[in-house]
Structure 1
């Protein structure tokens, strides 16, 4: 290793690249978890919480954080405050708001919420850093990060949309909430204003109780619980026993458990790409060691000649691989932490602040060291066996090479595996309704990819003969030399391209899925509404005032708000819903279904929707429903048994049950509106309607006015938002693959030092030599890209047939993106060749000829 420092460094780099992504994945997950735990600690700082004893029907679900419970009377605050050991008791007043920033737009940070909070100067979790707390309805204070992101300053006047109304306010203070907010927008309101907006009926979700210094949480909770048992407030409200006192530690533990469960999906998602990246890295590492052994065949033969046994030579090679694995893994851990540090800066730019230091945990370090070392040792085992079996007499020859085995067996095995995988995918596409369709699709796709990788040397030789034709004809002699180099050793070329095959297969598949999903969604939306205009909100909630103001416009002929709330809904006809049967319930005025909102009616008639009846959406409620069945809906305000008058199939209404707006208002406290469909009044043109509606919603900032085409585009754009992180992770794996090309080319230059010297001696110029290496790099990159895209696009093309019933029924091949990927491969090839080509061009001809 001392004698071949550059070769050793390149081998270490190969391992470091493979390990970096794995280490970064674990570090990112740990940092995300600690950030959200810090948010929990900041948002639930009290020693004791008073809350409802019963879960709120429809108020929780697998994807929610914290269990929603029945509210408690705000009058409990005074009773709890008189309990021994209580320092202060505060009602938790919070709800959605919209803050208008200095630029006149709503202050938003990715998907983080915007929350209004009642300010109380007695709250020990809040610290006023500048100015003061709000003391009137037209005053607000802003949390530290919110003040910065809004561009506002103390003394500025702006607007806040609260409880559906636009209020002009003055910023009077800067407040610290005691911890990270992960981009959430926090606006502190005057206590009385928050009480009117968020607790108009005198009910709050919880009461926060802070004890005096030295008070034990459990002792305080028991004392508060005893007071609740004899509460006059609960007795007067007819709610005796409906409130309980729990420790802050238990509340924080429950919230953290919910967050960890949600992050479990993220972890799995990230680890899938870590495995993919490690697979890519394994190709890179194996290729590196194979080339290293090939360069040192004569050295190993000399070792054999002076008495080394095959076992000793094998041990030397694997031992070096272990050292390389350890050093590379250690650097990979540091590289992974560096990747996370960069990612944290990027996320901070879009408002997602991950707090704390980049974690360096012992289990993560040990796992990465073991992983990189084991992969290196295994990757080196095959070339080590080749080195161990070199005959001692080979040392007497001037030019020693490792005999190449036939590619026929690999071609046959790879072809059989790929064909078996393709057959499985084809069967899943032909018979998508079978229970094994998804398993066949996933297993078949993996088999196709593995089969192509196994057979890639044979495939590479055939494909490269086609790809090299333009270079041979247009750039002689560089093209012919490059053709000879990449075709002469198809194993090395295929191994280098293998990393790109995997990455580009994923990119190609994702591109097809994204384009197909967008077109499928656009097709659904286009066929689901014929409204003239649609109102949507950047916060997903349209303020009540905006809905009322638009409906009152003379230019509006019909306004159809789509209101929703959560409730417990029967899982099957006639069944009583449980708390786990949480679903969205949509409230619409009679006549909207089949009018502004078009649906496929499977049974019955949507015209029969009225109070006491319901329409079932088979997309979310499942099959088995029919006209005449009874569905039970249970929410915070009561329970209703409703007769099913129609069964429809629609993806635009993301709810299992549609009821009238009166029924929804009676069941759900403060239902939200996320979409409003509008039709023009008779004689009003679309331009006039749009102008009037835009003027009406302008004060609410977050509401956008869209025609049908814009509505379709906005819905389709949501697919791109969901795929951003996917593309980012794929980009990281492709970076590793590209660096692998650099690594292999550099090693190739070292391996062919004598050959390069001979070429220079017979007249090949420096630029021609650099051009030859560059063409090799471009051919390798294009080869990996073409094979990967062919596999990814081909496999993804089967998805619309498998998932047609789930809405993915359109197949779109994004030829522009595919062409861009191939063009990008050419650029990548040129960039990857810069250092190896420069190094080759600078070799002195005589020194190169004399090299061993």
Structure 2
């Protein structure tokens, strides 16, 4: 049977190549996703493993803040220089040195523009003089030794075109620095920084600019000969006490890698979901192809039965063909996956996530690719294989065997039941804000639509097809009848396109609603005339706000800062403002209490968070930040959840008293109404120009800035979904090609009765357009329902407006019809070129 299966594959190469492409594309997405995420993880773990110290001593965080880092990046969350001497005296320590590291340091190019990190941080460090404890290696020049000298990483130097001896301008959280570039260095083993830039100062300068005099961010320790890292860490913990975080090199790399994995889980899941979509859509193409191939080979398979083959052997023959197809497709898909990973690497690089690690196909990726390619093909071919085994041997003796399609009664009943249950779950989840219930309801509704698709195809084709005879006469009527002849085939052909457009439509509604929500929130909340912020939410120096305050015509300058805290043991984000100025910047809708109740000993809580925690005005909560500083704060008021403020708001005095990082996130500027707006705007531009890391935006520009992130995400999503649409197009092409082969004799008779080649081609095209329009209409309708449900359930996450992009939906329907025309090009040409006599004689 193996020989028979191989012979059948070789005999139907053209028929199977389209199904093979579905496997190739599906596996390519899986392999590309796994390869890309491996490179992503290797990039960061390589940075983590580049640490030179055997053991590190750091301030102990009160709770885990993940990869954020900035919550511990302040003078109050640092180590005194005197601790270095105490560490050196511990048994087993060979050497120890203090180290400074902080964000918000950027090198300007010769035109005064900031080094483009794509949103990655700009870091400042102190240069460690002990080579055993220095993670950086000089490539050229020397280390900085004075306040007017710096060294930068080789990647930044190459990007900006700087060489040793050049004069550079450095932006810091404090003052701007003019310095001489005295050296370039490579960080870690391979020098990769994932797009970040790194500037090194001498220790005293780093402390003065980035932290505080006599303070260190971390102390690096090397072990004496014969002392293991674990033993040394135990000695240090015993001597220093429990107030410090003591970690071995290996433990620190593992902890950071675990935090990284958690932080990047969204990206991995995001990409694997689309890989699953590609495989799911591709399975319909494979199922449809094998179903039609089995139907066309009825006489051949029945002949095998007549010659003594058992049902199991016939089933095995078809499944062997599927396995071979899956293995070949997976092999080609691995190569496509590597190319896709390369494209993803470039795409994410444009979004600010530079992948320094090389792309490598690991053993796990290869194994998963072959397993998935074979499994999907086997599952898709199983039902056709079972049907093949049921072909009666007597069919081999009859050339006129006609298979009677099964009625759609069972499909109708089961589909309606699943649709009703799913719709109820979807509605309940949307009304109750339960995302898991919405997800289950959405999946169930998708299954229900797939089950009901052949049933729904009949009225749709009748309705749309009613116009075909008026447009194309007899040719149009024949195209309509062909689409109606086998509703299951029509449904299977259109299902791939339906799923692709359902996802595009659903995400389109989410994206449009997010854009509308941003506009509404900014219009309702923003009172300030201008907002100063940095790209990708990076914090920036408070000197910007200080400079703006001295501009004539500026009435109010309100600063916003962020942080993470545990409030009564529950971790959440907070924002901090000057209570006297926040009302000038933002219109906060208070549902209980008053905005002027915000003060040094109080906190404002969102209504949703207050409901979750059972808080009301007058209650007391314990507010603790990562550096261990804590305060008891009184709830002074509750505000609506449509303000875009997050769950908690504190006063700037509380933020500073608990050691908050002295960097701004946003600066809100309100003008004096009597001032000349043009002159003030010019003065603001002059200030911002001196700090290229930040941007000045009015209300409309601020909205555009916020919408840009949504647009980038939608571009990425639609680019990935284009793969499923491509598979859908292949499905239409494949089905039509096989349909033409199946109807060879019929087409020959039509030609013999006077239909010319042009009309034959038109008939195939019209059939393809009807099928594609059906898939597009069904997908858009399903996607609209899912998109509206998701928008409703995400109201508490900031989606306060619902918007349906009607022009995009109409365009999707039009493109569905165009997809049919494009997909029909090859089948129509094949049908038009059939030889009349050969076609009539075909059996």
TM-score, with structure 1 as normaliser:
0.88
Paired position in structure 2 for 1:614: 603
- 1:552-575 deviation line (CA, Å, top 9, x unaligned): 1121011111233333332xxxxx
User: Cα gap change, 1:104/1:785 in structure 2, threshold over 3 Å: closer, same or farther?
Assistant: farther
Q: Is the 8 A contact 1:781 1:828 kept in 2?
A: yes
Moved more, 784-793 or 454-463: 454-463
- 1:149-181 deviation line (CA, Å, top 9, x unaligned): 445555554532102433334544432112322
User: Cα gap change, 1:450/1:249 in structure 2, threshold over 3 Å: closer, same or farther?
Assistant: same
* Whole-angstrom CA distance in 2 between matches of 1:844 and 1:188: 78
Moved more, 419-428 or 693-702: 419-428
Paired position in structure 2 for 1:288: 289
Paired position in structure 1 for 2:571: 582
* 1:444 Cα deviation from its structure 2 partner: 2.4
Q: Is the 8 A contact 2:94 2:222 kept in 1?
A: yes
SS of the residue aligned with 2:585? coil
* Whole-angstrom CA distance in 2 between matches of 1:185 and 1:757: 70
> Which residue, 171, 177, 184 being the options, matches 1:167?
177
Map 1:738-777; keep pairs closer than 5 Å. Answer: 738-762=729-753, 764-766=755-757, 768-777=759-768
> Which residue, 22, 25, 50 being the options, matches 1:17?
25
| Residue 552 (structure 2) pairs with residue 563 (structure 1) | no
* Whole-angstrom CA distance in 1 between matches of 2:449 and 2:108: 55
TM-score, with structure 2 as normaliser:
0.89
* 1:103 Cα deviation from its structure 2 partner: 5.5
Map 1:378-397; keep pairs closer than 5 Å. Answer: 378-397=379-398
Map 1:219-234; keep pairs closer than 5 Å. Answer: 220-221=232-233, 229=240
* Whole-angstrom CA distance in 2 between matches of 1:661 and 1:67: 15
* Whole-angstrom CA distance in 2 between matches of 1:471 and 1:157: 74
User: Cα gap change, 1:131/1:464 in structure 2, threshold over 3 Å: closer, same or farther?
Assistant: farther
Map 1:587-606; keep pairs closer than 5 Å. Answer: 587-606=576-595
Paired position in structure 2 for 1:302: 303
SS of the residue aligned with 2:251? helix
Map 1:93-492; keep pairs closer than 5 Å. Answer: 93-101=101-109, 104-120=112-128, 122-123=130-131, 124-150=134-160, 152=162, 157-178=167-188, 179=190, 180-210=192-222, 216-218=228-230, 220-221=232-233, 229=240, 242-243=243-244, 245-348=246-349, 350-429=351-430, 431-432=431-432, 437-469=434-466, 472-475=469-472, 479-492=476-489
* 1:530 Cα deviation from its structure 2 partner: 1.9
| Residue 675 (structure 2) pairs with residue 684 (structure 1) | yes
* Whole-angstrom CA distance in 2 between matches of 1:199 and 1:476: 82
Alignment size in residue pairs: 824
* Whole-angstrom CA distance in 2 between matches of 1:838 and 1:743: 14
> Which residue, 540, 552, 574 being the options, matches 1:542?
540
Q: Is the 8 A contact 1:432 1:803 kept in 2?
A: no
> Which residue, 619, 631, 634 being the options, matches 1:629?
619
> Which residue, 490, 502, 507 being the options, matches 2:504?
507
SS of the residue aligned with 1:749? helix
> Which residue, 814, 823, 839 being the options, matches 1:823?
814
* 1:213 Cα deviation from its structure 2 partner: 8.1
Map 1:650-669; keep pairs closer than 5 Å. Answer: 650-652=641-643, 654-669=645-660
SS of the residue aligned with 2:696? strand
| Residue 42 (structure 2) pairs with residue 45 (structure 1) | no
SS of the residue aligned with 1:554? coil
SS of the residue aligned with 1:700? coil
Map 1:705-744; keep pairs closer than 5 Å. Answer: 705-744=696-735
- 1:797-820 deviation line (CA, Å, top 9, x unaligned): 234544444443322111122123
Q: Is the 8 A contact 2:605 2:639 kept in 1?
A: yes
Moved more, 757-766 or 324-333: 757-766
- 1:169-194 deviation line (CA, Å, top 9, x unaligned): 45444321123222122233344432
* 1:764 Cα deviation from its structure 2 partner: 4.7
User: Cα gap change, 1:534/1:17 in structure 2, threshold over 3 Å: closer, same or farther?
Assistant: closer
Q: Is the 8 A contact 1:26 1:364 kept in 2?
A: yes
Gaps of 5+ in 1: 230-239, 571-577
* 1:255 Cα deviation from its structure 2 partner: 1.0
Moved more, 470-479 or 611-620: 470-479
Q: Is the 8 A contact 1:50 1:206 kept in 2?
A: yes
Moved more, 797-806 or 535-544: 797-806
* 1:379 Cα deviation from its structure 2 partner: 2.6
SS of the residue aligned with 1:632? strand
| Residue 688 (structure 2) pairs with residue 697 (structure 1) | yes
Q: Is the 8 A contact 2:528 2:585 kept in 1?
A: yes
* 1:309 Cα deviation from its structure 2 partner: 3.7
User: Cα gap change, 1:251/1:426 in structure 2, threshold over 3 Å: closer, same or farther?
Assistant: closer
Q: Is the 8 A contact 1:565 1:672 kept in 2?
A: no
Paired position in structure 1 for 2:770: 779
Moved more, 442-451 or 369-378: 369-378
Paired position in structure 2 for 1:643: 634
| Residue 14 (structure 2) pairs with residue 6 (structure 1) | yes
User: Cα gap change, 1:734/1:143 in structure 2, threshold over 3 Å: closer, same or farther?
Assistant: farther
Q: Is the 8 A contact 2:533 2:665 kept in 1?
A: yes
Q: Is the 8 A contact 2:106 2:115 kept in 1?
A: yes
- 1:671-711 deviation line (CA, Å, top 9, x unaligned): 33212222212511333332221222210012222222322
* 1:850 Cα deviation from its structure 2 partner: 4.2
Paired position in structure 2 for 1:73: 80
* 1:384 Cα deviation from its structure 2 partner: 2.6
* Whole-angstrom CA distance in 2 between matches of 1:116 and 1:715: 28
Map 1:804-815; keep pairs closer than 5 Å. Answer: 804-815=795-806
* Whole-angstrom CA distance in 2 between matches of 1:163 and 1:439: 43
Q: Is the 8 A contact 2:87 2:93 kept in 1?
A: no
* Whole-angstrom CA distance in 2 between matches of 1:537 and 1:474: 58
Q: Is the 8 A contact 1:522 1:715 kept in 2?
A: no
Moved more, 669-678 or 10-19: 10-19
Paired position in structure 2 for 1:235: none
- 1:523-576 deviation line (CA, Å, top 9, x unaligned): 222211222222222252232111100011121011111233333332xxxxxx
User: Cα gap change, 1:754/1:177 in structure 2, threshold over 3 Å: closer, same or farther?
Assistant: farther
